[in-house]
Amino acid sequence: MNQVLNFVSEKDLKEFLSRVSPGALYGSYLRDEAHIFGRIDDLEKVELGLRIARSPVPAKTVFAPLRERVAVYPSRDYHWEVEIPEESLPTVLGIRGCDLRALEFLDLIFLEDEVQEPFYAARRKNTVMITTDCAEIAPSCFCTVLGTPPYPEKGFDINLSPIEAGFVVEAGSERGEELLAEAQGLMREASDEQVAQRDAMRQKTIDALNEQNAPYKFDKPIAQIVTEGKESEKWHKLVVPCVECGACTHICPTCYCFYLYDQPTEYREGLSERVKGYDSCLYADYGKMAGVGGMKPTPRPTLAARLRHRFLHKYCWAPEKYDVFGCTGCGRCKDACSGAIDVREVIKELAE
């Protein structure tokens, strides 16, 4: 890619965003002080969330919603495909490095396979990805512990790095270059001073993450710690605060498990529909198979086995299969957990 970096001022940002966003806009904004990641109806009126720590809800939700209808049957005319016109591609704004890497992980399961997940695929391929660096961090953030930086390195169309009075703008794809051409008059080439500010901001965030996560410097690779801990009795203790609510998996940007259920449809009387919704490997029912009464077999009858399964999947089997963790270190699972189970603490406990 052409490495020319540009600068857009804070004052021109919204005009800039409206020029580079061909269609509907989704992303990071503030509503009543809460950091939302979702549809932005009125860019003019909204306070954007590009200078703060990642949102509580991951960008995943735009590409794979909590619940959606995937089929109506038996029907020959039900139009099931997600169709996104080329000229009005939606834009997702303010995707952090962790969430972008999470989408790249989901791509491995949903896209890079014999059969694609068609709903995710349509959205993922036809979306303008505007990412942003983290100038601030949340107390649960730990991306650097997993060896990844708090800013996107690749896979974006446009990246915005917050600096004094504006943003350093970087194109990361041909689509990004083309879109930036629409906003030429609003940008100027970033000065050496502005690029230096960006680099300093990035280093400052890395330093803050390193300081925050100083207790989680491990002597061994994380995959090895979790693998070696798989037969540990500690899982029974570690799982005590878990109330099996599934919040950790629902909020996780890389969790992709779903269940399918059927019901009568409102689409047309007499037909049925199939709905896809997030599932959670912590639920007792997750792996439960057919059986009479209380005899429904499951491979993981204990909650301890299910918690272990989540960790083994994220830190051992994902790297084994894809050479990448199934975790981006965003820390949302800890924030969402009623029992405040902190994955860093779990790994630390296993390492001891």
Partner 1 sequence: MKNPYAPINAELLEVVEETPTIKTFALKPEEPIEFRAGQFVQITVPGLGEAPFTPSSSPLDKEKVEVTVLKTGRVTDALHECAPGEVLGIRGPFGKGYPLEETAGKEVLIVGGGVGLAPLRALILVLIAQPNFKRLSIKYGARTPDELLYRKSYAEWDSQEKVDFTPTIDIPATGWVGHVGLVTTLLDDLDIDIKNSVAISCGPEIMLKFVTLRLLELGYEPTQIYLSMNRKMSCGLGKCGKCNIGPYYLCKDGPDICYDKIKDYPDVFG
Q: Which residues bind partner 1 (CB under 8 A)?
A: 70-74, 80-81, 109-110, 113-115, 117-118, 230-231, 256-264, 272, 274, 276, 279, 281, 286-292, 296-301, 305, 308-309, 312-313, 317-318, 320-321
- 307 exposure class (CB count in 10 Å sphere: 0-12, 13-18, 19+): buried
Query: Does residue 21 contact residue 183 with C-beta atoms inside 8 Å?
Result: no
Distances (CA, A) of 172 to 1, 152, 217: 7, 10, 32
In the complex, what is the shortest distance from the CB of residue 19 to partner 1, in angstroms, rounded to a whole number? 33
Nearer to partner 1, 279 or 342 (CB): 279
In the complex, what is the shortest distance from the CB of residue 341 to partner 1, in angstroms, rounded to a whole number? 20
Return the residue matching tokens 């806009």: 25
Structure tokens at 48: 């954007």
Nearer to partner 1, 238 or 318 (CB): 318
Nearest to residue 325, comparing CAs of 165, 171, 126, 101? 101
Torsion angles phi and psi, residue 9, rounded to 5: -80, 155
Nearer to partner 1, 14 or 296 (CB): 296
Task: Characterize the bridge pairing of strands 166-171 and 6-9.
Answer: antiparallel
Structure tokens at 54: 């990642």
In the complex, what is the shortest distance from the CB of residue 306 to partner 1, in angstroms, rounded to a whole number? 9
Give the integer Cα–Cα distance in Å for 347 and 167: 37
Nearer to partner 1, 24 or 71 (CB): 71
Phi-psi region of 33 (alpha: psi -120 to 50; beta: other; left: phi over 0): left
Nearer to partner 1, 306 or 332 (CB): 306
In the complex, what is the shortest distance from the CB of residue 146 to partner 1, in angstroms, rounded to a whole number? 19
Nearer to partner 1, 107 or 133 (CB): 107
In the complex, what is the shortest distance from the CB of residue 218 to partner 1, in angstroms, rounded to a whole number? 22
In the complex, what is the shortest distance from the CB of residue 274 to partner 1, in angstroms, rounded to a whole number? 5
